[in-house]
Structures are given as structure tokens and as C-alpha cells.
Amino acid sequence: MIAVSDIYDKVIELAKRRGFVWPSAEVYGAVAGFIDYGPLGAMMKRRIEEIWRHYYVIREGYYEIECPTVGAESIYIASGHVKGFADKMCQCPHCNEYFRADHLAEACGIESASHLTKEELAEVIAGAACPGCGEVFGKTEVFDFNLMFQTMIGPGSQRKGYLRPETAQGIFTDFSRLSHFYRMKLPFGAVQIGKSYRNEISPRQGMIRLREFTQAEAEIFVNPEKKRHPNFWRYADYQVDLWGIEQQQSNVDPIRKTMREAVDGGIIANEYIAYYLALTHDLLVSIGIDRSRLRFRQHLPDERAHYAIDCWDAEVLSGRFGWVETVGIADRTDYDLRAHAKESGDSMTVFVPFDEARTEKRKKIVADMGVLGPKYRGKAKKIADALAETSPGPDGAEVTVDGETIFIPGDLYALHEEEVEVRGAEVMPHVIEPSYGIDRMIYGVLEHAYDEEIVDGEERRVLRLAPCVAPVQVAVFPLVNKDGLEEIARKIASDLLEARILADYDDNGAIGRRYRRQDEIGTPFAVTIDYETKEKGTVTLRDRDSMDQVRMPADDLVAAIESLIRCRTAFADLKR
RNA sequence: GCAUCGAUGGUCUAGUGGCAUGACUUUGGCCUUCCAAGCCAAUAGCCCGGGUUCAAUUCCCGGUCGAUGCACCA
């Protein structure tokens, strides 16, 4: 077992040295919160994204869209990010430290200080002592620090733009197009994988808190009346460790529940949340997150956004950082669509037919235009329209036209009662949002895969990456560098490459050293070509984790490795 | 952002006001029939900017990055 205190240093050192993750633009002095993915990291990231797509796009059928990372101001006014994503800050004039203004005010006994205006806050703070240096603040300006990067679109600073702080808004703003694409049938969803930006005040923690990061988000639009997932059966019996509100408040460990139990027991709000919670567990474990270092924590009522019905985080345990929020799964109700409907004027609804058309009785007022016309002349049409909308009293109806209230006696209109067939209603869907931090997933995978052991008195460092995420999928070695073994090995490597398996040919140095090199970057399998290959056409296939070997015909390699890297076969099964 | 500490080849490290140390790695060669073997050779470094000085990797100031504490973390 590895000492937990320094595992981050070890993982990051390896990641840098072997080309997984680098500080961005190091030559000019790196800037905190930005990273580069090196050759192996970029490959691994792509594989993880591809697995994510398999789950959400292929299996769930939620197509991927791609929206700009720069968005016009109105999008983020509607979403609430312009107002809500800003912290009110102030700076101590004596020691120059920055503080959250509302926190200072609350320390002075003001309740819910976050609702105060900047001026009100400044007034309160003027009398407060600085927690940094102890001096009384005096006159201090309170200013907004918005976590969004701001930019200008076009010359002349005409339109403000923001780098998106999440990919979700693009899906919301495309809602009407999407609902037509899906032929107006709920539920439907769309996903997006891409960069998002947050100008963190002080990002530390390397890959964990970035200013530019990759999100994979799904927005699933559901009928608010029907929060039963059509494929719930798939995960109904799936077990997950749940750290619900109750367990957190009574300070006990997470409880293991099937999704059916969790929904029936009211721990998880609905089948959709439960379904994506289980799917997320499934996905994270399949890319190599250790299930014993994975838990799902429910947001407490006070940390949950006011509009959200329920929200769970998948948390991954890190030796350095503790439990790291890696995925968030929330039922955001119709908050986002409502906000965009209001700001944009678009309806953001879907017509949902009833199971059976309902007949409703409606009263209809039909004006007697023969009388109204001559009497009211130009106003007659408006009065008739207003009459149709009004509910009449026993002897007549009052209507208001152009600010003038007019009484129309009952004999000037006829009251019809008619039956209307109502086939459905306009529904504003609720949004179920699973949101993944790809960079945090990658770090979690690296940390959980990192292992050290002593083999023959030498330290062996190995990344036990799942075969499906390992950047290099198989290594190909000639046992020795002579007698034509190299040519055979090169041929085998190129056959594997032709089959779209990433094979790394290496003939440099002793064979043991080559195995170790591949172990360190997590290559799950290695093929060695020896003299028996020349005679019998067989090769050895070596398993990274057990260091066991099996001998097999070279002709079977492609099929065997394809099956191994899709995790259809375990290496042990190859030994028959 | 504040405070404290740190920064030497790819990695780990020695050391210094005047030619920068060693090991590992990497590359080329020899050798080698399966887990970092051996031999020969090569490549490669004092975080950035300014100051002091004849001379700065070393001393001073500022910055960047990193660790820790505080603050922050939709």
C-alpha cells in the first residue's frame, strides 16, 4: 500500500514525466488553473470521453451537440450567472486582504447578508474589524467579482460576451430546435462535451480546480408528471453507496441500496435521478474508479440550489484532497427553461397530448353585431372581442375597451355553452442534469490506478489502468534484436495498428526494461516475439497486472486483444 | 489574494560570489532466448525580470509556479 500523503505528488510527477498532463505553456511560466494534456493524457481523455458517449449518446440516445464557448450577455443574464455567479468582495485598506463582504457582515450579526446591496454591505463593514490584521475597515468599497471570464464581441465593445461557465446553457438555448428534432416527444435529451471557464480566485489543487476545464453534460427534458424512467429496470437492482441527507445529518456512513429501494424509500427523489446515479456509478467503475473509493452524496437542503428538487454528487476519494466532487446529478425542475422563456420570449414548451382527449364545457359569448355595430361603430369589434373573454353577470356584462368601461346589457349578446375537445397541454419540461467533470475523472482514474510494488528487490511502478482507457493498448517487443525477430515484430505491430489497436513497437534495451516502461504508462498488454514465433508462428501475450504470459498463435492476436480491451474477456480466461 | 517555506538536466539530488556534482532515465553502439543485468559513448540543468558587483545559479527586490495555513471553491 502506498503512503497516502504523497500519492498526489507521485501521480503528478509520473503524469508530467510520461506525457499525461503538463502545466500549460510552462516555457513562459505556467499560470495556475490551466493544464495541457500531453500525448498520452489527450489519448486517455479521448477514450474516456468516448466511453461517456457510449453511455449517453449511443445507449441513452441523447445526441451530442456543440455550441460556442463564447456566449452573448443575454444568455447569462437569463441563466442567472451574471448576477448569481458573482461574489460581493471587499479589500481591507490596511492589509490588502480580500474577503467575502457578506461573510464579514454575517460575522457582525447580520442575518442573510447575501441579500444586502453593495452599499448596505459597505456600511456594515465600515465598523467591522478585519479578520486579517484586526484594524477597523473604515470606508471600503464592495465590488462584484464575477467568476465568468468576460470579453467583447466585435470591435467597438458593442456587445459583451462571456466564456461559458458550463456547457448546459447551450442546450437550453437550443431547446426549441431540439424539441422539433425529437419530434416533440418527451422525454428527450441532448449532451455536450466541451470546455467551460471559471475565473477562480485562487485555484490550487492542480488538476482538481481549473480555470479552463472539460465538462460532459446531459440535459434530459422530461414531463414533470412522468418522472419514471422508461428503462429503469436496467438499474432497478443496481446497488450504490448512498450518503443521503439523513445519514449526513446523523453522522453515519453511507448506506448501500438498490435504486428501487432508494426511490421507493424516498431517499432519491425520482427514477430519473436514481437511474443516472446508477449509470454514473457504472460508468465511473468501468473507466477504473475504485468502487470502494466512490460514493454518492446528497446535497443538503441549504447547499442545494433553491429550484432543485434533488441533487447528488458522485464523490471520488483522493489521498490528497479527500472526497472530490466529480459528477453532479440534479433535478433542476423547469428553472432554466422558465428563465430563458422569460428573457427570450420563446415559449420553451412542448405540446403533450393527453392519453385521451378531454371534453371541456366552455361558455361562449357571441355578440349581436347587428346592434353593436351601429351603436358603437369603430369600437364594436373591440367590444365583441372583449365580450368573448369576459364572464357576464345576470343582466349584462362589463367590458373595458381602451380604458373605458362599458356596460353591455344581456340582450346584446347570446350566451352559448359548447363542448370543446382538448387534446393536450403545453408543458414546460423539467430538466434532469448529470454533469461530469472530465478532468477530475481523469485525475481520479490516474490516482486509483497508480500502484507501486517490489519485484525482485526493485520498485515497480505501474498504472493499473482499465484496458478500455489505457492510451497505449498493446506493446510489441522482439525478444532480441537480431535474427530477423525485429521484422516479424514490426509486421505484427502494423497488423494491430491496421485493426485500430494502438500498438507501440519497442526494441530498445533489455526486455525487462521495456515491460517496465509500458507498466508505468498503463499499457495493459505486451506481445513478445521470440524464436518460437519463427518456428511455430506463436507469440507470448503478457498481462500487465499479473505479469503472467500466455502463448498463442500470432494470427489470433487481433481478435484476442480487441476482446481484452473491450473488457469482454479477462486475461485469465485466455489461459483456458 | 495575504502569510510562511521552497524552486539546480526528463527525474531525484550535491554544491557554490569566479570551469555546476552524482545517480537514474533517455538516445546511439556492443552484448543479451522474457521482467529496470553488464560494457562504451552521447544528449541535457541553476524558474523569470530587475538591482548590487569586475563577476550572481548563489546576495537583495519584484514576479511566476508549487506546498502549507487563512480566505475563496456556482
pLDDT tens, residue by residue, A453-507: 988 888 899 999 999 999 999 999 999 998 899 999 999 999 999 999 999 999 9
End-to-end CA distance of chain A: 31
Strand order from edge to edge, sheet including A294-298: A63-64, A188-197, A212-222, A430-437, A322-331, A310-318, A294-298, A239-243, A255-258
Q: What is the pLDDT of residues A360-419, one digit of tens each?
A: 777 777 777 777 777 777 777 777 777 777 777 777 777 777 777 777 777 777 777 777
Q: What are phi and psi of A88, to 5 degrees?
A: -85, 120
- Residue A405 three-state SS: strand
List of A residues 430-449 with CB within 7 A of strand B: 435, 437
Closest by Cα among A139, A117, A138, A119 to A129 = A138
Pick the residue with more confidence: A515 or A402? A515
Closest by Cα among A333, A228, A316 to A275 = A228
- Which nucleotide does the CA of A457 lie closest to, via C1'? B36
Our CA angle for A126, A129, A132, nearest 5°, is: 120
Which residue minimizes Cα–C1' distance to B64?
A: A29
Q: Does residue A134 approach strand B to less than 7 Å at its CB? A: no
DSSP string, A503-556: EEE--SS-HHHHHHHHHHTT--EEEEE-HHHHHH-EEEEEETTT--EEEEEGGG
Closest by Cα among A415, A141, A448 to A286 = A448
Quickly state the pLDDT bin for A2 (edges 50, 70, 90): very low
CA of A537 to C1' of B37 (A): 29
Q: What's the DSSP call for residue A114?
A: G
Average pLDDT along chain A: 87
Our CA angle for A495, A500, A504, nearest 5°, is: 65
Q: What is the pLDDT of residues A427-439, one digit of tens each?
A: 999 999 999 999 9
Measured between alpha carbons, how far is residue A68 from residues A77, A179, A184, A317 in Å? 17, 20, 25, 33
Which residue minimizes Cα–C1' distance to B3?
A: A132
Closest by Cα among A442, A325, A443 to A52 = A442
Q: Are the CB atoms for A502 and A472 separated by under 8 Å?
A: yes
Cell of A76: 447569462
CA of A34 to C1' of B66 (A): 14
List of A residues 374-413 with CB within 7 A of strand B: none
Q: Does residue A133 approach strand B to less than 7 Å at its CB? A: no
pLDDT of A4 strictly over 50: no
A75-84, A358-367, A447-456 — most confident range: A447-456
Q: What is the pLDDT of residues A270-280, one digit of tens each?
A: 999 999 999 99
Pick the residue with more confidence: A41 or A96? A41
Which residue minimizes Cα–C1' distance to B47?
A: A29
Measured between alpha carbons, how far is residue A6 from residues A11, A15, A84, A93, A288 in Å? 9, 14, 37, 39, 21
pLDDT at A223: 93
- Residue A224 three-state SS: coil
Q: What does the alpha-carbon distance between residue A419 and residue A363 come to, in Å, rounded to a whole number?
A: 9
Q: What are phi and psi of A11, to 5 degrees?
A: -65, -45
How far does Cα A225 stand from its chain's mean position?
24
Q: What is the pLDDT of residues A331-368, one digit of tens each?
A: 999 999 999 988 888 889 988 888 887 887 777 777 77
Quickly state the pLDDT bin for A96 (edges 50, 70, 90): low
Q: What is the pLDDT of residues A200-242, one digit of tens each?
A: 877 877 888 899 999 999 999 999 999 999 999 999 999 999 9
Quickly state the pLDDT bin for A50 (edges 50, 70, 90): very high
Which residue minimizes Cα–C1' distance to B65?
A: A30
Measured to protein CB atoms, the chain B nucleotides within 7 Å are 1-2, 10-12, 25-28, 31-38, 47-48, 63-68, 70-74
pLDDT at A482: 87
Q: Does residue A131 approach strand B to less than 7 Å at its CB? A: yes
Share of chain A above pLDDT 70, in %: 95
Q: What does the alpha-carbon distance between residue A83 and residue A76 come to, in Å, rounded to a whole number?
A: 9
Q: What is the pLDDT of residues A263-311, one digit of tens each?
A: 999 999 999 999 999 999 999 999 999 999 999 999 998 888 888 899 9
CA of A442 to C1' of B66 (A): 21
Other C-beta atoms closer than 10 Å to the C-beta of A451 total 14
Strand locations in A65-175 (E): 70-72, 86-91, 98-100, 142-146, 150-153, 159-163
Q: What does the alpha-carbon distance between residue A422 and residue A354 come to, in Å, rounded to a whole number?
A: 8
Q: Which of A93-102, A225-234, A368-377, A527-536 has the lowest mean pLDDT?
A: A93-102
CA of A203 to C1' of B60 (A): 30
Contacts of A349 (CB under 8 A, 6+ apart): A341, A426, A427, A428, A429
Q: What is the pLDDT of residues A125-153, one digit of tens each?
A: 777 776 666 667 777 777 777 788 888 88
Q: Does residue A13 approach strand B to less than 7 Å at its CB? A: yes
pTM: 0.86
- Which nucleotide does the CA of A531 lie closest to, via C1'? B33
Cell of A126: 465600515
Q: Does residue A99 approach strand B to less than 7 Å at its CB? A: yes
Q: Are the CB atoms for A265 and A288 separated by under 8 Å?
A: no
Q: Does residue A459 approach strand B to less than 7 Å at its CB? A: yes
Residue with cell 347570446: A414
Calculate mean pLDDT across residues A252-267: 95
- Which nucleotide does the CA of A520 lie closest to, via C1'? B36
Cell of A452: 507501486
Which residue minimizes Cα–C1' distance to B27?
A: A508
Quickly state the pLDDT bin for A3 (edges 50, 70, 90): very low
Q: Which amino acid is at A337?
A: L
Residue with cell 340582450: A411
Q: Which amino acid is at A23?
A: P
Sort A563 into a burial class: Cβ within 10 Å, 0-12 / 13-18 / 19+: middle
